[in-house]
A and B are shown apart, each in its own frame.
Chain A
Amino acid sequence: MMKRSILTGQRLVAVFLFGCVLFNYPVIALFNKTGELLDIPLLYLFLFGAWGLLIGLMAWVIEHRQE
């Protein structure tokens, strides 16, 4: 059975909440503008960047958990 590390769970929930903020109004409205950064549309870059960041955070939390 998987040990339920409460700390790991809480970290993941924190990532979840962080993601909820990133992927919702008003934060996406900040990037919802025409314009490009590094020749990539701003919103596209932000969404995939934030997405990658969340995955990275989750991977870090999961792979560094202590059981």
Chain B
Amino acid sequence: MLQSWVIASVSFAYLGVLFAIAYYGDKRADAGRSIIANPTIYALSLAVYCTTWTFYGSVGRAASTGIGFLPIYLGPTLMAGLWWFVMLKIIRISKANRITSIADFVSSRYGKSHLLGGLVTIIAVIGIVPYISLQLKAVSNSFTILLHYPDIVMPARAAAQPLLQDSALYIALILAAFTILFGTRHLDATERHEGMVAAIAFESLVKLLAFVAVGIFVTFFLYDGFDDIFDRAELVPRLKALMTVDDTGASYGSWWSLTFLSMLSIMFLPRQFQISVVENVNERHLARAIWLFPLYLLLINIFVLPIAVGGLLHFPDGSVDADTFVLTLPMAEQQEALALLVYIGGLSAGTGMVIVETIALSTMVCNDLVMPVLLRWKSLRLHEEQDLSWLLLSIRRWAIAAILLLGYIYFRAAGEAYALVGIGLISFAAVAQFAPSIVGGIYWKGGTRQGAIAGLVAGFAVWVYTLLLPSFAKSGWLSLSFISEGLFGIGLLKPQQLFGLSGLGEIPHSLFWSMLANIGCYVAVSLRRRPDVVETSQATLFVDAFRHTEGDQRSRFWRGSAQVQDLLPLIGRFLGPERARDAFLIYARRRGVASIDQLEANADLVHYAETLLAGAIGGASARVMVASVVKEEPLGIDEVMNILDEASQVRAYSRQVEQKSHELEEATAELRAANERLKELDRMKDDFMSTVTHELRTPLTSIRAFSEILLEDPKTNLENRRKFLAIIVKETERLTRLINQVLDMAKIESGNAEWHTADIDLREVIEESLAATSSLFADKRIGLEKRLAGDVPSVRADRDRLIQVMLNLLANAVKFCEEDRGRVTVRLFAEGGAARVDVEDNGAGIAEADQPTVFEKFRQVGDTMTAKPQGTGLGLPISRQIVEHFGGRLWVKSSLGKGATFSFTLPLDAGEARQEERRQND
């Protein structure tokens, strides 16, 4: 027989131990030697996720739905895989902005909005209070059941008990006192409670130990191992069914939606946010939690199904609530100590949840609900108070008490309507509404305040309609026809078959509609306008959290003037003058300034102050408070965009630098090439001058020599005299020709040549040129063949110039032909929109390598092999210039010893050319 005083004193002793741990933890923290600076303790404290809902409720759920209870724990396991990115980002954002609650987070992200903070707080309180009442119910039930030991008596309906005999009331009160002691002994700007975290980690160990102990007892002592239990279950159809889930789409859909729901809950339940983000000492601790926390979940779940099956086998008549199997099985076997351990384990699970949850909620209620109202309430004259820290603490204490009392009231009124697991899932679905605004807020800069508000309101409204109100109906506060008939009897509005959507469980159904409404409104409303100044700057701080190092970023979005004498008292009013002075001293020392008076009240200090204050009263209130003592010059949206642009400009700049240096290299190479080309041109000009000089001096040499001979010796015989004078005349002609051609060349090259363009019949040009050179042919007795097509259209060119080209080519051909055996063929024909002329000879030919050089000035190919040819060496270059001037081409085809063919083309008249082309295309 366990006397009530025994149970009570064990309970108090346990709470005493917890308090001792917490007290010790706080002492150590104050001394700067944290006992929770350890990744394992962090991971254990995260197990505050496992409440009495896990401890007692999992078995209950497993007894009714079998293995379907597991998604609640698989979801967090999966989510842990994303923590490296998502959770780390939330932690870093929260630390940089001194965010102390989930409401603060949402409000800060969307421009420090009081309205949003309040909204999140209200949703959290309404969503979580049933969950708290669930803990009270579980603890009070376990106390009651244990009290009847060794008899197993199910507790009566709570409402049936007189208020003052209801153990749940006392439990609520004790927990309230305990939480106040834990959570609000003093005010800290970071809202961290190291002692509490240590106690929570300890409780996690206790509840795991207790649960595993029961599991081992049931599995290995009551039965003969896993195989024995499962073998026995195989024999009972009802139990056999627990080993699988229904093989239906709805069942798999439900499995998936519970997994999804728990993934969101592990991130956004206020207590999880408190422990994993606010209480995080060092973000490195997150790493181990990623696998250690899922391991904890696995361990605490491994015996759930065996215990459920064991309980169902042991109490086949259904007289014992499956939610109590964990406790009643050891009791049924007279395991007094084990039963007491289980009770303590359940107490751990319940108190842990209640403490963290109420602290988290009280922070929200104080910072995001009560303080904003009080601070606006001018008649309270709060702005005249010197020290408001007492006010903050008392608001939080009252909030804790109020929340627990609300939980108790809910328990008295509605606690019996649902099994434990039902209530837990309703809370999960409520906090899931935070997901779009938060996840969207840290990855999407476009989300706006109105979007977040719309999403939250819509999602929450759907949640109320599809989950909360039906739960009220089931509790008898509303007519059950609300569920069966729909609102006002409209079938489409049935809360659990909204718009006729049936076949889903109530949770997947509600999750679908609420998420649809939430995400839909969040995105649609956000997209209605561009984010304003504050939203943009906050969005950047949140979304780009990994890019910025702490602190430096925020000051950039602020401009104004402030006084240290204004800021210090302001902070002092909320943190207490002592703490404020300490904090400012720390700041001063960090800046290398000796005293507070010497501090410069710049943007950095203003932000430091605001951040300090944000820890105490929330981001939105802190902003209002700081704004009241500093003169802020508002930044325009353009300026904010400019600041944001700077960052991208820096990145763009480095890219540009890279590109520029690349371009510079290219330019250098080009310059070098151009320089080479210039040098080459210079050398060519030099060579040209030298060559021209040579070509001029050579005939002059002969002329001068013979002139002097004749002058000195008048008696030179007649024959010689004639010969010498003939040479003089010939060399003079050569000189004249050379000068003319050089000038001609220079004119053409400089573009100063005169062109008399007309329609030219090439046949006529060729005939005339042949007539002019007929004596050359006759002298060397060279044969001529003409193949001139009759239908070649006219070309646009300068007649005299073309004759010049033809004469040059014909003279060349004759020049390189042997006497008597020489033969020259002239061809004219149309080819691909151009007229083409060939002048072919059977002379010496030109080596492949020399072919390009024949078109260079003064390059006379063949000098070295034969006697020096006559000519200036300018004929071909000039001819090429002429042909190219009229859009044609001049080239040579030849091989050594086999003659040469010089060819040129000239484009046919534009109109004719088109006709020609068309003819060819057809």
Contact = CB atoms under 8 A, between A and B. Distances in A.
Report A-B touching, CB under 8 Å.
yes
Nearest to B284: A2
A19 to B, nearest CB: 5
Interface in A19-67: 19-20, 23-25, 28-29, 32-34, 36, 38-44, 47-48, 51-52, 54-55, 58-59, 62, 65
Contact of A58 (B244, B291, B546): B291
B298 A55 contact: yes
B256 A2 contact: no
Interface string A1-30: 110100011001101100110011100110
A22 to B, nearest CB: 9
B678 interface: no
A38 B227 CA distance: 8
A2 B754 CA distance: 81
Interface residues of B, number: 44
Contact of A25 (B81, B226, B252): B252
A19 B75 CA distance: 10
Contact of B256 (A13, A19, A25, A34): A25
Interface stretch (B82-90, B585-593, B734-742): B82-90
Nearest to B85: A9
B414 to A, nearest CB: 33
B291 A59 contact: yes
Contacts of A25: 252, 255-256
A13 B247 contact: no
B567 to A, nearest CB: 28
A29 to B, nearest CB: 7
A13 B291 contact: no
B255 A24 contact: yes
B243 interface: yes
Given A43-B244, A52-B298, A55-B295, A13 B259 contact: no
Most buried by A among B84, B245, B288: B84
B78 A16 contact: yes
A40 B84 contact: no
B81 A15 contact: yes
B534 interface: no
A42 B66 CA distance: 13
Interface string B229-253: 0110110000010011101000010
Contacts of A47: 67, 70, 74
Nearest to B79: A16
B244 A36 contact: no
A30 to B, nearest CB: 11
Contacts of B230: 36, 39-41, 44
A34 B243 contact: yes
Contacts of B286: 2
A54 B305 CA distance: 21
Contact of A39 (B85, B227, B245, B290): B227
B340 interface: no
Interface in B74-132: 74, 77-85, 88, 92
B287 A16 contact: no
B674 interface: no
A4 B547 CA distance: 11
Contact of B88 (A4, A44, A52, A65): A4
Contacts of B256: 24-25
B78 A29 contact: no
A12 B290 contact: yes
Contacts, number: 111
A42 B546 CA distance: 44
B226 A39 contact: yes
A37 to B, nearest CB: 11
Most buried by A among B67, B71, B243, B284: B243
A29 B85 contact: no
A63 to B, nearest CB: 8
Contacts of A39: 226-227, 230-231
Given A28-B255, A51-B74, A41 B294 contact: no
Nearest to B298: A51
Contacts of A42: 243
A36 B234 contact: yes
B302 interface: yes
B78 A19 contact: yes
Contact of B546 (A4, A16, A48): A4
Nearest to B283: A2
Contacts of A4: 84, 88, 546
Contacts of B243: 34, 41-44
Contact of B85 (A13, A33, A59): A13
B287 A62 contact: yes
Given A1-B283, A23-B259, A28 B81 contact: no
Contacts of A44: 67, 230, 243, 305
B78 A20 contact: yes
B58 to A, nearest CB: 14
A41 B308 CA distance: 14
Contacts of A12: 81-84, 290
B244 A34 contact: yes
Nearest to B83: A12
Contacts of A2: 88, 283-284, 286-287
Interface string B489-527: 000000000000000000000000000000000000000
Most buried by B among A15, A38, A42, A65: A15
Contact of A13 (B82, B244, B295): B82
Interface in B292-307: 292, 294-295, 298, 302, 305
Contacts of B79: 16
A40 B81 CA distance: 28
B226 A9 contact: no
Contacts of B80: 58
A24 to B, nearest CB: 6
Contacts of A54: 77-78, 81, 294
B304 to A, nearest CB: 10
Contacts of A51: 74, 77, 294, 298
B247 A29 contact: yes
21 contacts: A4-B546, A8-B84, A9-B84, A12-B290, A20-B78, A28-B255, A36-B230, A36-B234, A39-B227, A41-B67, A41-B230, A42-B243, A43-B244, A51-B294, A51-B298, A54-B78, A55-B294, A58-B81, A58-B290, A58-B291, A59-B292
Given A41-B244, A43-B244, 7 more contacts: A2-B284, A2-B287, A24-B252, A29-B247, A34-B244, A42-B243, A55-B291
Closest 6 CB pairs of A and B: A16-B81, A39-B227, A41-B243, A25-B252, A59-B291, A58-B291
